[in-house]
């Protein structure tokens, strides 16, 4: 009895402490799970990478511009960059350059590259939407598992209290001599079973919360409770009137995997044109600016006159002839002067015509065509699987509804039988063993009804979400 009292106190304490806990609706759980998922973070990185690729493809239309500089010390025989003469003097040189180039025609490679990058960007976005779908479905399933576990615990707690009340009443009857003591033993055995069921039910709640917190990326000790939704809200599929074809069209439009394959097929089709662009010539335009400096460069500041003697023979007689000669007066050329004087520029066009590349272009085209065929086959297979999945969801939802209807009828019949057994038990017409057996049947019927109820709601909500309807409930 003390053990039972502890269980009841635990239930009451849990109910009181839940008032202070943070309440989470299904919509809030879904939103939080999506916003805090590591998988979503990685999907957003993939989208950003695709956006960068698109931006890079668009920038291929722009000219390139590169600047360069050099500084070097030369020893031994070298070419002076300012005079282009061989010298053997150690010298220092420095140069600057600026180059630009732009592609004028590449057989449509740039245009198709941009289109393919945009298609691949949409592939990444559809992949992110698919991740949102998966997170949403997992969150909804975990949310409903907690709701069932909590309702089941409440049902088990009521059963536990009912058995405790019966034991208290049976003790009085046994003491009065109107009931045999063995009937008390039957009830106490049933109490032990109910206590075990209560522990299992509580553990199921704990595990269900741990699963939901893992999906939401919350700490395992985070204190939360769920807001029970209005189950009639947001149910769009009328199982009696649902059209397979209409539901399939909505699913095709909504399902990210289908859209992802459409964009992949688009990118693969553009890939064929990209591969074919290698058959065409390319035309480009480029220009450059350059200048340099050398510490061996000299300036002529003026001329000096010197008398130069030369030995000659006149009539086979040696003689000396003197002549004046102008000798240049040199000085080191300043850095700024050389940079200005050595400045040069140029521009030009280039044309490249492919003639023979050992069949590489042809092989690339064939591979691109096979990639497209493979994706088209994958698309057809996906559409078939999508329709099969939809039909399976409809079939499961209808079966769950039939199961719910049957379990509800069973529960009502068991409750009538239990009410009748309660009266007969109070009158002593049946013993405790028979009474407990009927009570067990009622408890089983209640559990089955709860299972059927949540299974039906979950399957209808999944069917709705499969077609693109909102899945959240408040």
pLDDT for 81 equals: 74
Asked if residue 176 and residue 222 are part of one domain, the reply reads yes
pLDDT for 16 equals: 42
Query: Does 142 reside within a domain?
Result: yes
Mean pLDDT of the 442-457 span: 89
Which tokens sit at 292?
Answer: 């340099």
Structural domain harbouring 54 = 2-70+107-291+358-466
pLDDT for 231 equals: 67
pLDDT for 308 equals: 79
Please give the mean pLDDT across all residues of the chain: 86
Distance in angstroms (rounded) separating the CA atoms of residues 43 and 292: 51
Indicate if the pLDDT at residue 402 is higher than 80. Answer: yes
226 within 8 A of 213, measured Cβ to Cβ: no
Asked if residue 325 and residue 364 are part of one domain, the reply reads no
Asked if residue 309 and residue 287 are part of one domain, the reply reads no
State whether residue 145 is helix, strand or coil.
helix
Q: Tens digit of pLDDT for each residue in 299-320?
A: 777 877 777 777 777 777 787 7
Asked if residue 132 and residue 7 are part of one domain, the reply reads yes
User: φ and ψ at 179, to 5 degrees?
Assistant: -135, 150
Q: How many domains does the chain have?
A: 2
Q: Tens digit of pLDDT for each residue in 255-268?
A: 999 999 999 999 99
Asked if residue 324 and residue 183 are part of one domain, the reply reads no
Identify the band that residue 11 occupies on the pLDDT scale cut at 50, 70 and 90.
very low
**Measured in Å, how far apart are the chain's first and last C-alpha atoms?**
40
* pTM of the predicted structure, to 2 decimals: 0.77
**Least confidently predicted of 89-98, 300-309, 402-411:** 300-309
DSSP assignment of 362-408, as one string?
Answer: HHHHHHHHHHHHHHHHHHHHHHHHHHHHHHHHHHHHHHHHHHHHHHH
Q: What are the respective helix, strand and coil percentages of the chain, to the nearest 5?
A: 65, 20, 20
Query: Does 370 reside within a domain?
Result: yes
State whether residue 300 is helix, strand or coil.
strand
User: φ and ψ at 308, to 5 degrees?
Assistant: -110, 120
Bridge partners, residue 94, by sequence: 71, 293
pLDDT for 322 equals: 77
pLDDT for 36 equals: 94
Query: Does 82 reside within a domain?
Result: no
Asked if residue 265 and residue 372 are part of one domain, the reply reads yes
Asked if residue 282 and residue 310 are part of one domain, the reply reads no
Identify the band that residue 474 occupies on the pLDDT scale cut at 50, 70 and 90.
low
Asked if residue 325 and residue 180 are part of one domain, the reply reads no
Indicate if the pLDDT at residue 162 is higher than 70. Answer: yes
pLDDT for 472 equals: 65
Mean pLDDT of the 28-41 span: 93
More confident call, 79 vs 281 = 281
**Least confidently predicted of 136-140, 281-285, 418-422:** 418-422
Closest CA to 466 of 237, 251, 257: 251
pLDDT for 4 equals: 41
CATH number at residue 167: 1.20.1600.10
Q: Tens digit of pLDDT for each residue in 107-144?
A: 999 999 999 999 999 999 999 999 999 999 999 999 99
CA torsion 264-265-267-271 (nearest 10°) is: 130
Asked if residue 188 and residue 134 are part of one domain, the reply reads yes
Mean pLDDT of the 318-332 span: 78
Mean pLDDT of the 91-96 span: 90
Query: Does 343 reside within a domain?
Result: no
pLDDT for 10 equals: 42
pLDDT for 18 equals: 41
pLDDT for 301 equals: 75
Which tokens sit at 147?
Answer: 């709701």
Query: Does 300 reside within a domain?
Result: no
Count Cα neighbours of 55 within 13 Å in the Cβ-side half-sphere.
Answer: 6
311 within 8 A of 326, measured Cβ to Cβ: no
pLDDT for 181 equals: 75
Distance in angstroms (rounded) separating the CA atoms of residues 392 and 386: 10
Asked if residue 444 and residue 403 are part of one domain, the reply reads yes
Asked if residue 112 and residue 15 are part of one domain, the reply reads yes
468 within 8 A of 253, measured Cβ to Cβ: yes
**Least confidently predicted of 145-159, 306-320, 458-472:** 306-320
398 within 8 A of 240, measured Cβ to Cβ: no
* b/e burial code for range 357-380 (CB count within 10 A of at least 16 → b): eeeebeebbeebeebbeebeeebe
Query: Does 342 reside within a domain?
Result: no
Q: Long-range contacts of range 354-358, CB-CB < 8 Å, 24 or more positions apart?
A: 354/278, 354/279, 354/280, 354/281, 357/278
Distance in angstroms (rounded) separating the CA atoms of residues 192 and 205: 20
User: φ and ψ at 126, to 5 degrees?
Assistant: -65, -35
Vertex 372 angle, CA 369 and 376, to 5°: 140
Query: Does 349 reside within a domain?
Result: no
Q: Tens digit of pLDDT for each residue in 164-223?
A: 887 887 788 777 777 777 777 877 888 888 899 899 999 999 999 999 999 999 999 999
Asked if residue 262 and residue 179 are part of one domain, the reply reads yes
Query: Does 225 reside within a domain?
Result: yes
């Amino acid at each position: 009895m003390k053990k039972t009292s502890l269980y009841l106190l635990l239930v009451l304490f849990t109910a009181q402490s839940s008032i202070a806990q943070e309440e989470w609706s299904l919509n809030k759980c879904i939103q939080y799970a999506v916003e805090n998922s590591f998988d979503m973070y990685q999907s957003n990185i993939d989208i950003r990478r695709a956006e960068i690729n698109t931006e890079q493809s668009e920038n291929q239309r722009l000219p390139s511009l590169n600047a360069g500089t050099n500084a070097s010390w030369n020893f031994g025989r070298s070419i002076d960059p300012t005079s282009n003469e061989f010298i053997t003097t150690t010298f220092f040189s420095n140069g600057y350059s600026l180059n630009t180039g732009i592609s004028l025609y590449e057989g449509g490679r740039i245009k198709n590259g941009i289109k393919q990058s945009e298609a691949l960007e949409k592939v990444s976005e559809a992949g992110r939407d698919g991740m949102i779908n998966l997170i949403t479905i997992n969150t909804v399933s975990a949310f409903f598992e907690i709701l069932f576990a909590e309702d089941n615990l409440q049902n088990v707690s009521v059963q536990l209290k009912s058995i405790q009340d019966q034991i208290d009443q049976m003790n009085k009857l046994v003491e009065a001599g109107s009931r045999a003591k063995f009937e008390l033993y039957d009830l106490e055995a049933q109490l032990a079973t109910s206590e075990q069921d209560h522990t299992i039910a509580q553990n199921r709640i704990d595990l269900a919360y741990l699963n939901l917190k893992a999906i939401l990326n919350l700490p395992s000790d985070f204190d939360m409770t769920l807001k029970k939704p209005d189950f009639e809200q947001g149910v769009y599929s009328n199982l009696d009137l649902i059209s397979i074809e209409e539901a399939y069209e909505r699913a095709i439009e909504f399902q990210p995997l289908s859209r992802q394959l459409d964009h992949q097929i688009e990118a693969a089709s553009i890939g064929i044109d990209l591969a074919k662009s290698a058959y065409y010539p390319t035309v480009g335009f480029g220009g450059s600016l350059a200048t340099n400096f050398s510490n061996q460069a000299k300036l002529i500041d003026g001329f000096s006159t010197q008398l130069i003697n030369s030995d000659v023979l006149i009539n086979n007689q040696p003689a000396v002839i003197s002549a004046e000669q102008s000798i240049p007066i040199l000085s080191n050329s300043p850095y700024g002067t050389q940079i200005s004087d050595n400045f040069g520029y140029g521009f030009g066009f280039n044309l490249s015509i492919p003639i023979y590349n050992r069949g590489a272009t042809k092989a690339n085209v064939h591979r691109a065509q096979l990639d497209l065929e493979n994706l088209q086959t994958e698309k057809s297979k996906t559409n078939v699987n999508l329709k099969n999945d939809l039909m399976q969801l409809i079939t499961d939802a209808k079966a769950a509804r039939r199961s719910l209807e049957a379990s509800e009828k069973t529960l009502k019949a068991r409750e009538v039988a239990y009410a009748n057994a309660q009266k007969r038990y109070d009158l002593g017409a049946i013993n405790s063993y028979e009474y407990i057996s009927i009570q067990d049947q009622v408890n089983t019927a209640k559990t089955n009804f709860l299972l059927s109820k949540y299974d039906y709601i979950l399957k209808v909500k999944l069917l709705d979400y499969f077609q693109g309807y909102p899945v959240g409930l408040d």
